Amino acid sequence: MIKTMRIYFAHPIRGRTGEPDEMEHNCRLAKAYASFTRSYLGPGYDIYCPADHDEMPQIAWANRTFATDHILTADLAIVKRCQILIAGCWTPSDGVAGEIDFAHNHDIPVYAFTAIDSLRMICDTLRKTYG
């Protein structure tokens, strides 16, 4: 039986401006990076990317059903269930910074990247370290 390593794929959503176009761009980029990571790592890794599940939280946030803190609290509960956090840091993000701090405080290894080359290096390191 293959043991699955669960990875939380932290990424910016609102970015610098919180404008809808920037949020859409950040989520599209996160989905593409997460897809690359899944393909590159192959089986044995379960990658949770918030952008893959972002439609409902964004609607609830826009309608003021959820506050940002509610969404981040749920995200941190998911981080806690993971063995590794990969952080997309292509633009400043308080949410990603909070997820990184949380992971450090819970002894969850953190790997940060800004572009595809550094993400590829992280994937190589994970394959080498965790199999």
For residue 17, being part of any structural domain is answered with no
Query: Is 57 within 8 Å of 72 (Cβ atoms)?
Result: no
Domain count, the chain: 1
For residue 38, being part of any structural domain is answered with yes
Q: How far apart are CA 94 and CA 86, in angstroms?
A: 15
pLDDT digits (tens, 9 = 90+) for 8-22: 999 999 888 888 899
Q: What integer is the mean pLDDT of 78-100?
A: 96
pLDDT surpasses 90 at 58 = no
The predicted pLDDT at position 1 comes to 41
For residue 25, being part of any structural domain is answered with no
For residue 22, being part of any structural domain is answered with no
Q: How far apart are CA 55 and CA 15, in angstroms?
A: 17
Cβ of 12: how many Cβ atoms within 10 Å? 25
For residue 43, being part of any structural domain is answered with yes
Sheet with strand 110-113: strands edge to edge: 45-48, 5-10, 84-88, 110-113
pLDDT surpasses 90 at 55 = no
For residue 44, being part of any structural domain is answered with yes
The predicted pLDDT at position 75 comes to 92
CA dist 116 → 33, 37, 40, 106 (Å): 7, 10, 12, 27
Q: CA angle at residue 54 from 26 to 98, to 5 degrees?
A: 70
DSSP 115: S
CATH value at residue 40:
3.40.50.450
Query: Is 96 within 8 Å of 88 (Cβ atoms)?
Result: yes
| Domain encompassing residue 113 | 5-9+31-130
pLDDT digits (tens, 9 = 90+) for 30-49: 999 999 999 999 999 999 99
The predicted pLDDT at position 24 comes to 92
Query: Is 81 within 8 Å of 47 (Cβ atoms)?
Result: no
Tokens standing for residue 92:
């400043």
